[in-house]
Structure 1
Amino acid sequence: MKNKLVESAGYSDDLKQKIISAYQNKGKNYVPRTQHLDNKDVPLYTNRLIMEDSPYLLQHAHNPVNWYAWGNEAFQAAKKENKPIFLSIGYSTCHWCHVMEHESFENVEIARFLNVHFISIKVDRELRPDVDHLYMTAVMILNRQGGWPMSSFLTAEGKPFFGGTYYPPSPFLDLIQKIHATWLEKQSDIESQAEQISGMIRKIMSSETKASEVGKKSISEAITNLIGTHDSIKGGFGQAPKFPMESSLLLLIEHLLNENDPEILKVINTTLMGMARGGIYDQVGGGFHRYSTDANWFAPHFEKMLYNQANLVQVYLKAYQLTGNPYYSLIARETLEYVLRDMTSKDGGFYSAIDADSEGKEGLFFLWTKEQLQEVLTPEEAELVISYYGVSDQGNFENQNLLHIPEDPYRFAKSRQLSISQLFIQLVTIKKKLYLVREQKIHPLRDEKIITAWNGMMIIAFATAADILKENKYQIAAIKTAKFLWDKSRSQKGQLNRSYLSGTSSNEGTLDDYAYFSRALIELYDLTGDSTWLNRSVELSNEMISLFEDQNSGGFYMNQKQSNVELITRPKEGNDGAIPSGNSMALDVLTMLYRRTGNDIYQKNAKAVLAAFSSKISEYPEGFSYMMLGASKLFNGEYKNHQYAAGGAVALKIKTESEAADKIKFEIQFSIKPGWHINSDQPLQEDLIPTQIALKNGEYATINHITFPKSDMVSLGFQEAPLAVYTGDLIVKGKIDTINNTSPDQLLEHLELTLQACNNSFCALPEVLSFPIPLNH
């Protein structure tokens, strides 16, 4: 293998051999991603990235740029050669990353200048979120906006002095020439600026500020501020570009589970309907694109990320649980089916993303002409699709049609004298035909690395679906992935790795990986009652505390203490980005573990997370939406079908079923651990608190019947007289009558269960658990 870069870059014989061996070991199916090929399609250039296991880094392995991976080798070279570092951060399915790769990193002139005057480092942001977060903070300081590809310039100590995002080739060449000239003439000035920016980063990352109280007022302020940015016409928050902002939606839904609020209900419905009807949703194959470039949810940035599917499934399922809107359950089901069909490995792990581009064009895979639709469908089907999805002869997106739903589905169905169910059934058949036709097209690239944190999110989504939709296949999928991660994504020391690709687990686990996987295991415990999942969550969470806790200021660092390249500061993130931060998820995990184990250390650490970010929360509470959701659970308890009392000694699960338009059956299943009991509904002693069930409000519904089981008579050491108690497993059944004039805005009542649990030596404090009961299903 004769290689221009290997021969010209001064590689040692040992490095040359490693690069050649890594290329040869790629196998027959490996396709070099480069325009620089010889007449046998062998790449003319190969750099160190060929030895990496990141799909994104491998995309750049045949650029003429002398790329380094993030590591000591690159920083030592920068120090030895007294060169600035060019740091390029992106990810494999990023459209503008591809554009800059083609325009600049495949450009021999630009590559030559970088190779002579810079040390160039490539980072996959999905594998190193800590590096990405730190240098994105620098870019935001310098430009007040950021994105990918991220283009940063650093000193040999890793301190940033300039940064931006995408640059066209000519301006980029001008930029690196100017930076090189300035480096030669004013290196000390550059280093002073880099130190100043680094100090600002350290201050932003630090949580060593005066703690303020985070309470229900903070949650209310976050909700008020979110409502203030809501687009009341099209839904969502703010203007273009519009992101789903799942953390914010989940916070608002959690608030609705606590109390009825018609204004917030409108925010939820407007946003969820807007997204479901827009081009941001794949109307044929299911699943969501990453964001909308316009304010109407019409024109997406076409990449599909696993984390969007996971978090939006939760949003739509919980909104369905609240409202009974079948459209929400349909969107959730279609998205889950999309993930099972197109983003799942044979081992059960979930792939990370689908590219925006195919055949060199963004979104081409998802577009249709009117003629194509007429060719593959019957005349009646074509007429329905053309009308329902807003298809025209001239097209609505680059001379073709991006399918979206201009008219409200309920109004559309009514105009055709169809029920909404009849319309959906017709569309299912049509969409299957369109999907099969679309499958014949050249597909966008799929990034098949399996990221532990994102798989944790998807497990939560499937477990939530199994619980709400009562479909066992979703539980099977969740358990399969959890077993896969537990078996394959841990190192020989038992610590989590971040990624799995081609049979190999690698890259040190981050806070996100521990927090999200721990949270997923709790969800499986709730769903199945199998304590194996709870025990594994406890194991991971204890390790999370050991590896990531900031023992001085509270909260958790993003990364483990570095044994490789030490960053200018150890980053800590609390606010939401595209996903809830690791600290927000850790707060959720710790709060839930405290309720399920009774271990005070989890409550202590949960409160420490809130305290660590309290001053920043007070400045910008809506930026910490998922942390506010965790705070709500900490202060108010959980509004779930599965709940716990006495530190997990009593587990409860509620099932509800509509008997008629105004009648709801409920069933509460109790599972009481050996050695524990709760008082019966009619204890023999007046001073004992009975197990009671009542409605919180009673304004919109009444309980007309409750059946408690027969109690056990026991004698315990602390009480001479026998006690009437419940032990082991039992079921309480009842019926609720809803009031006929209930407003559609009156979503739910709360069934409040009062109990007191005791063992043979002491009694826990009385507890009141609140189960939300939807009224409009």
Structure 2
Amino acid sequence: MNRLGNATSPYLQQHADNPVDWYEWGDEAFRAARERDVPILLSVGYATCHWCHVMAHESFEDAQTAAFMNEHFVNVKVDREQRPDVDAVYMRAVQAMTGAGGWPMTVFLAPDRRPFYAGTYFPPRDAYGMPSFRTVLASVANAWADRRDQLLGNADALTEHVRAMSAPKPAADGALPEDFAPRGLDNARRTFDARHGGFGSAPKFPAPTFLTYLLTQPDGRDMAVRTLDAMMRGGLMDQLGGGFHRYSVDERWLVPHFEKMLYDNAQLVRAYLRAHVVTGRADFLDTARATLAYMERELLTPEGGFACAQDADQEGIEGKFFVWTPQEFRDLLGADADLALRHYGVTDAGNFQDPHHPAFGRRSVLSVVTDVPELARAFSLGEDDVRARLGRARETLFSARRARAHPGLDDKVLTSWNGLALMAFADAYRLTGETHYLDVARRNADFVRARLTAPDGAPLHAYRADVRGLLEDAALYGLGLVALYAAAGNLEHLQWARALWDRARRDHWDDAAGVFYSSGPDAEALVAPTTETFDAAIMSDNAAACLLGLHIDRYFGEDEGARITARVLAGTANDMLTHPSGFGGLWQAHAHLHAPHVEIALLGTPEQRAPFERALAAQDLPFVTVAPAERGGGLPLLEGREGNGVAYVCRNFTCDLPARDPAAFTAQLRALQG
């Protein structure tokens, strides 16, 4: 009996009709494994994962494979996004056994949940240097029957290894060396691809938290700007609909893995907004706007929450929604087809083919291959005329694409990822002053307060699912609330963020170890607790908690966040230097910790504050503490401050004379930058 029909996860629902006798993660499955005296086959993935779909079609929908699974195993399906704690534990087992990780993840467990064998995707037949899934199943079943002691010995060793990998390093104290940040930038430059942008070789991931950090460092901005420029021109960005795909399979950012995730897009919005402030380039702001429009159009739910992601496959073919042929351009664009083909690099040879569906043919992922000035010369047109024609072509292509079968939507709503979206929309309002962005942000906060918050104030992890909140939920949504307060001045949002910081510190911080644990004390006891400092898809929960604590310190005149941040940084410093691009969140925390304490109080109605807010948004001041309010009081920074349309620039709560016009305020802000 497949038990996934009533699951709240769209990923589990995708497997509800498999002939596999799936269980959800929980006591029912563990009890069945003990009673039947068989291993647990744990399969972990997510709804928009292309290779998860491939393995499902090849193996989990195959009747013979399913029958063997049902006879010899208790089969458990887990959505890694709904249960990141479970995923993190067993991903360490995969990494220990294979040296790499990924999804779908396949792990074999003893009935007490200790792992003894692990891998990722297994093909239906021996291929790619891997044994077939059926071969693996038979080998494990035979070993369980005939060599169980050996498997349980593996379980002992692998579980101890996972626990060692999960355990915090010995607590460290003391200041980091003065050259810590320069050394990190030097090490990052060693892996930087100066030609194409990004770090390392293919496949390339966007690393938005590290790019955002680099934009705060004068010696690192060139790496960030080069990467952001390359990503927005390549196929990683959806050139018609806005937003970014998950990663690039090549070093040029040309051919993406086509799923589009909320977390990538939300984090990249903030990177492009900051890049616009740093460089003044309008195209960076345009990219942020296009990404926000995508998020709102495709991921925003009617209730105000943001869904997780869109699928990589359409009608079973990878990227079908996004790729084009020259003939399609000619049929749609007529006289402007040649111009658009040249601009987007669409050719008969194409640049992409789904290897599982060769009959669909080679097609082209759109990227910006030829710029407007070159097109103007090649076609003997004025540049304004070229822009107008490309604009019309883009609208025509986008409209035609909307008639295609759309990517599937993973409509889970996760608190942590919504915190990232809240930051993006709040920051967009602060930079542009466009109230629509603020409306979206406020609706999101109202939704999370009503639907993703327990009666005691604890955050929940997922909407419509009985999943306890994790550190990432408290920390990332707390950061979103800080951004919303800085944008609009509702002190209730900042107080809510402070309550989430207090909860993170109380339930997740281990002062002896000098680290935050991902799960709280009342969470399910897994075979190993987890701590996360590396930024994988999203900023690590330890980095997010440190940044939240630093914000609360600056607003409320406290120092606990700074003390905790220093402890986490000391314990992670070696890893940060060894793999700098993977620790962007903690590099941000380090920069924030050591930045001068600068506070900006803006007093007056929203209309009175608006000119001052625009002046502040135009300045490159990434670590200032911004306190907007209609009247004084409620925060140390606002005590004794009054005025209708006045700005105070302060250092350690000692303020300059109040500025009553934006020009004087701008002069004070520029003085902060030396």
What TM bracket, shorter-length normalisation?
Answer: 0.7 to 0.9
* Gap change, CA 1:436 and 1:583, over 3 Å in 2: same
The SS at the match of 1:568 is: coil
From the superposition, tell whether residues 480 and 235 of structure 1 become closer, same or farther in structure 2 (CA, over 3 Å): same
**Map of 1:751-770 to 2, 5 A cutoff?**
751-752=670-671, 770=672
> What is the deviation of 1:771?
5.3
Q: 1:65 Cα shift?
A: 1.1
- Tell me how far apart the structure 2 counterparts of residues 405 and 336 of structure 1 sit (CA, whole Å): 20
Pick the aligned partner of 1:206 from 167, 185, 188: 167
1:66 is matched by which residue type in structure 2?
D
Q: CA deviation at 1:596?
A: 0.7
- 1:181: how far off? 1.1
1:116 is displaced (CA, Å) by 1.3
Mapped partners of 2:420, 2:514: distance in 1: 25
Indicate the residue corresponding to 2:398 in structure 1.
435
The 3-state SS of whatever aligns with 1:89 is: strand
Residues 431 and 189 of structure 1: CA distance in aligned 2, closer, same or farther (over 3 Å) = same
Select the residue among 366, 370, 376 that pairs with 1:403.
Answer: 366
Task: Select 1:274's aligned residue among 221, 230, 250.
Answer: 230
8 Å CA contact 1:94–1:303 kept in 2: the answer is: yes
Structure 1: distance between partners of 2:280 and 2:384: 13
CA contact (8 A) 2:171 2:512 kept: no
Match of 2:431 among 446, 452, 468: 468
Pair 1:114 & 2:69 matched:
yes
| C-alpha distance in structure 1 between counterparts of 2:240 and 2:523, whole Å | 47
Report the secondary structure of 2:302's partner residue: coil
Post-superposition offset of 1:432 = 2.0
Matches within 5 A, 1:131-170: 131-170=86-125
Q: How many angstroms does 1:169 deviate by?
A: 1.7
Identity of aligned residues (%): 34
Amino acid at match of 1:587: C
1:567 aligns with 2:529: no
Aligned to 2:593: 634
Deviation at 1:617, TM superposition (A): 3.7
Q: Is the 8 A contact 2:414 2:462 kept in 1?
A: yes
Measured at CA, do residues 730 and 430 of structure 1 come closer, stay the same or move farther in structure 2, by a change above 3 Å? Answer: same
Shift of 1:296: 0.9
Residue type of the alignment partner of 1:448:
D
Equivalence for 1:597? 556
Pick closer, same or farther for the CA change 1:478–1:410 going to 2, 3 Å.
Answer: farther
Where does residue 354 of structure 1 map in the other structure? Answer: 310
- Structure 2: distance between partners of 1:678 and 1:469: 26
* Structure 1, 315-324 or 594-603: larger mean CA deviation: 594-603
Q: Deviations over 1:423-478 (max 9, x none)?
A: 55543332222111111111111111111111110111111111122322111111
Show the counterpart of 1:310: 266
Letter aligned with residue 49 of structure 1: L
Asked whether 1:177 is paired with 2:138, we answer yes
The letter for the 1-side match of 2:278 is L
Deviations 1:268-304 (A, max 9, x none): 2321121111111111111100001111111110000
**Alignment RMSD:** 3.0
Within 5 A, what are the aligned runs for 1:188-587?
188-211=149-172, 213-214=175-176, 216-256=178-218, 261=219, 264-379=220-335, 381-398=336-353, 399-408=362-371, 411-412=374-375, 424=387, 426-500=389-463, 504=464, 506-562=466-522, 564=524, 566-587=525-546
Shift in alpha-carbon separation, 1:179–1:603, aligned structure 2, 3 A? same
Does the 8 Å CA contact 2:172/2:571 hold for their aligned counterparts? Answer: yes
Query: For residues 154 and 670 of structure 1, what CA distance do their matches in structure 2 show?
Result: 53
Counterparts of 2:666 and 2:453, CA distance in 1: 48
TM-score (norm 1): 0.76
C-alpha separation in 1, matches of 2:376 and 2:450? 48
* TM norm structure 2: 0.87
CA distance in 2, matches of 1:419, 1:71: 65
Higher helix share: 2
Larger Rg over CA atoms:
1
How big is the shift at 1:535?
0.8
Contact preservation (8 Å) 1:654, 1:771: no
Q: Give the superposition deviation at 1:495.
A: 1.9
Q: Is 1:123 aligned to 2:53, yes or no?
A: no
Supply the distance in 1 between the matched residues of 2:96 and 2:650 (Cα, whole angstroms).
55
The one-letter amino acid paired with 1:751 is R
Count of aligned pairs between the two proteins: 632
Q: 1 CA distance for matches of 2:403 and 2:601?
A: 50
Q: Find 1:733's aligned residue among 645, 660, 663.
A: 663
- Give the Cα separation in 2 of the matches to 1:229 and 1:507: 39
Provide the C-alpha distance between the structure 2 equivalents of 1:228 and 1:268, rounded to a whole number of angstroms.
14
Cα distance 1:445–1:658, how it changes in 2: closer, same or farther (>3 A)?
A: closer
Partner of 1:56: 11
Distance in 2, Cα, partners of 1:273 & 1:132: 33
Which amino acid counterpart does residue 253 of structure 2 have in structure 1?
A: W
Whether the 8 Å CA contact 2:431–2:617 is kept in 1: the answer is: no
Mapped to 1, the partners of 2:348 and 2:133 lie a distance apart of 40
SS in 1 for 2:23: strand
Aligned residues of 2:106 and 2:118 also touching (Cα < 8 A): yes
Q: Is the 8 A contact 1:223 1:622 kept in 2?
A: no
Aligned position for 1:761: none
Q: Which residues of structure 1 form unaligned runs of 5+?
A: 1-5, 7-46, 646-650, 660-667, 680-690, 695-723, 738-748, 753-769, 773-777
Structure 2 distance, partners of 1:457, 1:152, is 30
Deviates more, 1:481-490 or 1:608-617: 608-617
Cα distance, 1:400–1:194 mapped onto 2, change above 3 Å:
same
Matched ranges for 1:622-661 at <5 A: 622-637=581-596, 643=600, 655-656=614-615
Counterparts in 2 of 1:286 and 1:123: CA distance versus 1, 3 Å: same
Q: Which residue does the alignment assign to 2:606? A: none
SS in 2 for 1:406: coil
1:84 partner amino acid = P
Q: SS at the partner of 1:152?
A: strand
CA distance in 1, matches of 2:96, 2:399: 47
* TM-aligned CA distance change 1:505 to 1:97, over 3 Å: closer
Whether the 8 Å contact between 1:669 and 1:732 is mirrored in structure 2 is no
Deviation of residue 118 (structure 1)? 1.1
When residues 51 and 693 of structure 1 are mapped into structure 2, their CA distance, relative to the original with a 3 A threshold, is: closer
Residues 464, 619 of structure 1: CA spacing in aligned structure 2 closer, same or farther, 3 A cutoff? same
Structure 2 residues not aligned, in runs of 5+: 126-131, 354-361, 603-608, 619-625, 643-647
Say whether residues 1:94 and 2:57 are aligned partners: no
The aligned counterpart of 1:715 is none
Q: Report deviation, 1:129.
A: 0.9
Asked whether the 8 Å contact 1:216–1:632 carries over to 2, the reply is: no
Q: 2:42 corresponds to which letter in structure 1?
A: L
* Structure 1 residue 628 displacement after superposition: 1.2
* Cα deviation, residue 305, structure 1: 0.3
CA distance in 1, matches of 2:230, 2:207: 13
Provide the residue aligned with 2:23 in structure 1. 68
Post-superposition offset of 1:228: 1.2
Structure 2 residue matching 1:161: 3-state secondary structure: strand
SS of 1:459's equivalent in the other structure is: helix
Give the deviation of 1:492 after TM superposition.
Answer: 3.3
Change (3 A) 1:214 1:72: farther
Shift of the 637–116 alpha-carbon distance from structure 1 to 2, 3 Å rule, reads: farther
- Matched with 2:358 is none
Tell me how far 1:654 sits from its aligned partner.
5.7
| Closer/same/farther in 2, CA of residues 595 and 73 from structure 1, 3 Å limit | same
- Would the aligned equivalents of 1:490 and 1:505 in 2 still touch at CA under 8 Å? no
Pairwise CA distance, 1:82:
2.0
